[in-house]
Structure 1
Amino acid sequence: MSSVLEHGSEDHLWAEPRGSACESTGLAQALLPSCRVLAGQSPCTVPVSCLELEEQYSPSRWSPRLDRDAVVEAHVEAVTAGTQMARATTQTLLHVPYGDGDGEKLDVYLPTDPSGTFPVLVYIHGGYWQCLSKDVSGFAAPALVSQGIAVVAVGYNIAPKGHMDEMVAQVRRSLAFLVQQYSWISGVYLCGHSAGAHLAAMVLSTDWAEYGVTPDIKGAVLVSGVYDLEPILHIYVNDALNMSREVAQRNSPMLCVTGAVPAAGACEVLVAVAQHDSPEFRRQSREYCQALRSAGWTVSLLDLAGVDHFNIIERLSQDSYILTEVILNMISRA
C-alpha cells in the first residue's frame, strides 16, 4: 500500500483530519469572520468555524457508501486494480521521462492500432497534491483506447517533496513534451480529478510562449476540483504543502480565468461534480464554471447523481458510465 500512496497512510488521502489545528491569521479572519483569536488566547485555538472548514474539505466525510477510512481504502484499491488491468490489456509506454526530476514521468496507453493519428486524453491524478501517483492512474484507459483514444497518465512531484509552483510547472511541461515528442496526436483533452482537476485548470491558463509550443487543447474535463486555494491555507491539507498566501493566489484557477480568455474559443470545458461532494466542493465547481462562462469559455456543469468524490472518477473504467460517454462525445464532436 505504501508504494501506491507515496506519502503516509491512506487516511491522509482526502480524509477527515484528526486533531489538526487551524491557525487564525488575518486572511482566515477575512475568509471566516468567526475564525478569530480572542485577546490573550493562543493562536492555535481552533474555533468552530475552522473545524467546519476542515470538514468541508475532507471528501471522505461526505460519502454515504462507507466510513471515511473505508471509502479511501476502497478508492485506492479500485484505481490500483483498474490500472493493473489496463497495463495487462493495452499497449503501453511506461515511465516515459518528460523532464529530469524523479517524478517527471508519463505512462502512455495506446489504441490497439497505433497507426495514423488519434486524440489523447491526458489524465492528472488527485490525492490532495500529496498522495497517489501515475502508477495507479491508468484505470480509464481500456474504455478509451478501445475507441481509438490514447490515454496518458501524468506523474508529478507530490508534497512534501514537491511544492505547488513546481507541480503546476511540471504538468505544463508534460503537455509541451507530449506534443513535441509524439506526432500522432490529433488533439489533446485534459482530465483531472480533485487536486488533478486543479492542475488541469491551471494548464488552461498557461502562457505557452515560454514553452515554445502551443498544444492543441480541444477539451478539458475537470472532476470534483478545487479552484480557489485560499481555504486550503487554513486546514490540515496545507501541513504538507506549506503554501503561503501568495503561492495560493497565483495558483488558484479562479484568479487566472482572465488570462485564459485567448484560448477560450478553441477548448470545450466540462466541470463535473458529485452529488455527494461537500457543499464547498460543489460551490467551487459552480463558481469556477460561472467564471469561465463569464470570460467567454465554452463550458458546462455536470452534476452527477448517486456518486461521491471517489467513485465519480473510479467509474471511468466502465464503458457505460455517463462521464465516460460524455468524454467520448466531446472527442467525437471535435
Structure 2
Amino acid sequence: MSHWEKNKKYELEKQYSPSQWSHRMSADDVIKAHVAALKSGTEKARSLAQTLVDIPYGEGDEEKLDVYVPISSSPDVPLVIYIHGGYWQFLSKEESGFMAVPLAPKGVVVVAVGYSIAPKGNMDLMVSQVRRSVAATVQQYSHISGLYLCGHSAGAHLAAMVLSTDWSEYSVSPQIKGAFLVSGIYDLLPILSTYVNDPLKMTEEVAVRNSPSQLLHQLKASSSACDIVIAVAQNDSPEFRKQSEFYFRSLEAAGLNVTFEDVPNTDHFNIIEQFVDENYHLTQLLLKMMGKI
C-alpha cells in the first residue's frame, strides 16, 4: 500500500469513526456514556410500561422483539419500531427501549428489534430479519392506528432498507406512516475498505444490493405515503453528514415526503440519547407526526 493509499484509508476510517467527532468527551468515554445512557433509559422505560420481552418473530436465536405497552389504554394506539445502531456489530434490543420513556405515557407502543449482529449475522441476514420483524409486528398488532419506524446509525440504514422492501414477497404490506432515520449510512460502498467491514466481510455486490441509495425505485413503490425525517447531528463527521444530505436530496428529487433535520449541539450519540426527553426537538416532531401533541 502506497503512502497516499495509507493516508486515504486513515482519513476514511476517521470519517467513519463517529466517536472521534464528539466535542463532549474522548472517543472511548463517549461510547461508554452512550451505552450507559441507553441502558438507563431502557430501565426507566421498563418501569413506565408493561414490558413483553423476547417475543419471537422468526426461528433464529436473535429474532426476538421487546414490546413496551402503555399502561393506560386508548383507542388511538400508534406503534414505533426502533432499530438499534452499533455498526451492525454492537448493542442489542436489551438497551433499546429508551424511546418508550416519553412515548408510553402518551399511549404509544414501542417495539425494540433484535437482529443477528456481525460476525454471527451478515448484511443480507440482518436486512431480512428487520423486514420480517416489521411484517410480524404488523400481523401481531393489527389494531394499531399507525406504524412508525426509527433507526439510529446502522439502525437508520436498516430502517431505510425496510422502507425499500418489496412487500409482495411477504404475507403483509405494512403501511408505514412515518420514519425517523437518525445519523445513518445509506451507501455502504465507502465502508468496504474500512475497519467497519472486518466483521461484516461484505463484497461490493453485497454492499450495492444493501445500500438504500441504490433502491430509490423500490422505496418510491412501497413507502410513497410515508413521512420521512432524515436527521443528522451538527457534530457528526463530514462524511456522515454528506451521506444524510445526499440521501435526503435523492428522496426529495424522487418526490417523496422527506424533511431534513440538522440538529444543533448534538453529536452522533446524544442525537438519539435525547429521545428519552419529551421536550427534545426530534421527540416533539415524532409526537406531532403521530397527532399526540
TM-score range, shorter chain: over 0.9
Runs of 4+ in structure 1 off by over 4 angstroms are none
1:166 aligns with 2:145: no
8 Å contact from structure 1 (residues 117, 184) kept in 2: no
Cα offset for 1:296?
A: 1.5
Residue aligning to 1:296 = 255
Q: Which residue does the alignment assign to 1:7? A: none
Select 1:73's aligned residue among 32, 48, 64: 32
Report how far residue 265 of structure 1 moved.
3.2
| 2:97 maps to which of 138, 156, 167 | 138
What TM-score do the two structures reach when normalised by structure 2? 0.97
Query: How many angstroms does 1:263 deviate by?
Result: 3.2
Q: 2:73 aligns to what?
A: 114
Aligned-partner Cα distance in 1 for 2:40–2:218: 39
Retained in 1: the 8 A contact 2:150–2:181?
yes
Deviation of 1:267 (Å): 0.4
Question: Which amino acid in structure 1 is aligned with residue 51 of structure 2?
Answer: T
**1:264 touches 1:298 (CA, 8 Å); kept in 2?**
no
Structure 2 counterpart of 1:237, one-letter code? V
Instruction: State percent identity of aligned pairs.
Output: 57
Q: CA deviation at 1:264?
A: 4.2
In 1, Cα distance between equivalents of 2:201 and 2:132: 23
SS in 1 for 2:279: coil
Cα distance between partner residues in 1 of 2:222 and 2:128: 19
Instruction: Write out aligned runs for 1:215-254 (5 A).
Output: 215-254=174-213
Conserved in 1, the CA contact under 8 Å of 2:79 and 2:111? yes
Which whole-Å CA distance do the structure 1 matches of 2:70 and 2:264 have between them? 31
1:98 aligns with 2:61: no
Deviates more, 1:236-245 or 1:258-267: 258-267
In structure 1, the gaps of 5 or more residues are: 1-36
Structure 2: gaps (5+ residues): none
Structure 1: which amino acid aligns with 2:117?
I
> Residues 1-334 of structure 1: matches in 2 within 5 Å?
37=1, 47-114=6-73, 116-332=75-291
Give the superposition deviation at 1:271.
0.1
Deviation at 1:113, TM superposition (A): 2.2
Partner of 2:82, secondary structure, is: strand
Shift of 1:212: 1.5
**In the aligned structure 1, how far is the partner of 2:5 from the partner of 2:125?**
31
Shift of 1:46: 5.3
How far the C-alpha of 1:262 sits from its partner, in A, is: 2.0
**Pairwise CA RMSD:** 1.6
Counterpart amino acid of residue 190 in structure 1: L
Counterpart of 2:121 in structure 1: which amino acid? Answer: G
User: Are the aligned partners of 2:186 and 2:213 in contact in 1 as well (CA < 8 Å)?
Assistant: yes
